[in-house]
Each structure stands twice: as structure tokens, then as C-alpha cells.
Amino acid sequence: MSKVVYNFSAGPCVLPKQATEAAAAAIADFAGTGIGIMEMSHRTKPIEGMVAETEELLRELLFIPSGYEILFLGGGASLQFCMAPMNLLDSNANADYTDTGVWANKALKEAKRFGKVNVVCSSKESVYNHIPKSFEQTPGAAYLHITSNNTIYGTQWKEFPKANTYLVCDMSSDILSRSVDISKFGLIYAGAQKNMGPAGVAVVIVRSDILGKAEREIPTMLDYRTHIAEKSMFNTPPVFSIYVMNRVLHWLKNLGGVAAMEKTNIKKANLLYEALDSSKLFKGTAAKEDRSTMNVPFVLNPEFVSEDKKEALEKELLKSAAEKGLEQLKGHRSVGGFRASIYNAMPIEGVEALVGFLQDAELRFFTLLSNS
Ligand SMILES: *Cc1c(COP(=O)(O)O)cnc(C)c1O
């Protein structure tokens, strides 16, 4: 048997074994048809049924109220940075954006192409290490945009701000990780590859009454109404990606749904944060009250590791972690150090193994230090 590997990648990231195994089988033979899922028309009953079921599963797991449509689109979350304002924001109208990370910043830059963007708060000056929570909304703004979890910096809106109109939210890296009240949102979008499935599909959840109000001409493919009318089948949808997501959703449902997942996620995150808080060698980089349950960035404590020794030690630690099956722990270049992404599919055993590794590394480090 091969060694146990825990994959802490920020995305694409670990998926449940049941989902990847079902996907592998479906490549050869989908639903007993004798035809592989990638070789079958999206206009067939088995595929239409599977896509409809995926939508139902999302509706059920996220308690999506009536009046909201669910779409499966290509182009990732990044396409939604422009598609959302293109559909929701008139060129002479205002939208409020919160600048809480690189993704949030990309979203607001894109929105500027379509209307007036007010950056109502920003934590850029402090390398996005916290969520700036006190800000004023612009009177008459069409919507307030937030990024619910900042994948790179490991910060998360614990309580969503109350929008004067409605929230537009990039939920790419924490959708299905915790219970949310969908009714606060006009539009939610999420690339699947962080917590829901493979790359290639983005999920959009949109309250249909906010559409059709912007006056501009919208290209057919970029108009949400096109995809609503055609049930995400205006053109060929990313069927295989949707199928893997379908299996992930079944897995999640069998574990007790989002509320059960949330409990486990809090447990996993607490375990890791407690280890970091009691460590002298490692320290978390995000403000305590905003710490993400999904992405945990941490660095070597500069009190003990000088700038000139840092890189070599980081390298060595990443190498020895990988030897123990703890993979993809390198931090994002803008934060440095390490990042452990502990999405839904990361079992608690993976977090325990990481905590054990960090404690061992610390012990070794201080033993060497006192012997030198
Ligand atoms: C990864 C990520 C994105 C980009 O997603 P793509 O699907 O690659 O476009 C956007 N927002 C957040 C919060 C992310 O984590």
C-alpha cells in the first residue's frame, strides 16, 4: 500500500475519495449506459437528470429559498468578477466593494469597467491580515460585494455585513463549509475547485428579481437570463466537472450536510490554531477574530528565525513534511511561509498529523538551538 498523503493545497484541492472513485468509474461507463460520461451528449436523459439532481442537492444542502436560480457556468469565479457587474450595475450607478484580498481586489477592478465602484474598506496596507468591518455604505449603491473567505490571507467574514440592498458574494473558498442565510444575498458565485469539486465549473446562485435592470446590451453568453432560461444548457456545460461535484454533494449529504460539516471544520481549525498559538516557532498571520476555518497561513517566528536563515529552514520543513505525506504546505508568495488549506474533504486525521509534525519540528529546532 502507498503511504497516506494529506494534501493541503489551496486549490484545486483534496476531494473525497468516494467522489474521485465514482468519477473514475463514470469515465468508463456512466450510470450503466455502457458509454463514458465524457462521451455522452448533454442533451441525453441521464446527463440532464444528473445536472438537475446536482441543482436539487445544492438547493437542499444550502437551504436555497424559492426565487433563486442555480447555474453551472464555465469561466471560473474570475468570469463572475465581470459577469456580475455587467448584469447588475448600470454605467452611471454605484456599487460598494470591500477590498479584503487579492481576489476581492480583482473583483473590484473588473467592476470599474461597468459602473462606479466605491471601495468602502480595505486592509491592503496590512497585507490583508484582517477583515475591515466598520465602514459606511454609499447611499443608492446597487449592491455590496464581499469575498466571504480570503483564500490567500486566511481571513473570513464571520458575520456578513448587512447590505442596504443585497450582497454579492464570492464564496469560492468556503461555500458548503458553514451554514449561511442565503436570503441576505442577491448573488453568490463560487469556482468549484476550492471546496466543491474540480476546476471547470462555477456555481452561481442568483435571486432572479435583481436581473434585467441594467440597461446595457449584454452578450448572450454573459447574460444570466440566458442560462436560467436554458437550465445551464444554452451551450455544452462542463458535464464531467458537474458530475464530480454531484458526487461531492452526495458525500456531504451522507455526512449530515452543511451543519455537520461546519462542526467538523471548526474542530479542525481550532486544533490547528491552538497548536499555532501555543507554538514559539510558528505563528499565524491572520487577526484572531477573523481567522478562516478553511485556509491557515503561518510563518516562522522572526524572534527566533532571522531573515537570512528563514528561507533555508522553510525549505527544509516543507521537504520533511512532504516525506511524511504532508503535501502542498508552501505559503502563497504574498504572505510567505506556510499555508494549510483544510477544506471539507481534509479529514481531521490530516490536521492531527500536521499538528504532530509542527510540534516535532519545534522540539527539534529548540533542542538544536540550545545545543549550539
Ligand atoms: C481561487 C479563487 C478565485 C479564482 O477562481 P477561478 O475559478 O480560478 O477563477 C476567486 N475567488 C476566490 C476567493 C478564490 O479563492
* Atom in ligand 1 nearest the alpha carbon of residue 11: 1
CA 131–ligand 1 middle distance (angstroms):
18
Is 170 among the residues known to form the active site? yes
pLDDT in tens, the chain (372 residues): 578 999 999 999 999 999 999 999 999 999 999 999 999 999 999 999 999 999 999 999 999 999 999 999 999 999 999 999 999 999 999 999 999 999 999 999 999 999 999 999 999 999 999 999 999 999 999 999 999 999 999 999 999 999 999 999 999 999 999 999 999 999 999 999 999 999 999 999 999 999 999 999 999 999 999 999 999 999 999 999 999 999 999 999 999 999 999 999 999 999 999 999 999 999 999 999 999 999 999 999 999 999 999 999 999 999 999 999 999 999 999 999 999 999 999 999 999 999 999 999 999 999 988 887
Q: Which residues line ligand 1 (CB under 6 A)?
A: 11, 76-78, 103, 147, 151, 170, 172-173, 191, 194, 202
* Atom in ligand 1 nearest the alpha carbon of residue 192: 7
Retrieve residue 238's grid coordinates: 462542463
CA 193–ligand 1 middle distance (angstroms):
8
**Mapping DSSP to helix (H, G, I), strand (E, B) and coil, where does residue 182 land?**
helix
Closest residue (by CA) to atom 2 of ligand 1? Answer: 172
Instruction: Check 99, 194, 223, 330 and give the catalytic one.
Output: 194
Cα gap 268→266, rounded to integer Å:
5
Cα gap 214→79, rounded to integer Å:
18
Instruction: Check 96, 99, 157, 170 and give the catalytic one.
Output: 170
Which phi and psi (to 5°) does residue 52 adopt? -65, -40
Alpha helices by DSSP H, listed for the chain, are 17-28, 45-61, 76-88, 102-111, 224-229, 239-254, 257-277, 307-323, 348-371
Cα gap 36→46, rounded to integer Å:
11
Closest residue (by CA) to atom 14 of ligand 1? Answer: 172
First to last CA, the chain: 40
* Atom in ligand 1 nearest the alpha carbon of residue 80: 9
Whole-model pTM: value is 0.97
Say which amino acid occupies 112: K
Which phi and psi (to 5°) does residue 337 adopt? 65, -130
Is 112 among the residues known to form the active site? no
CA 152–ligand 1 middle distance (angstroms):
10
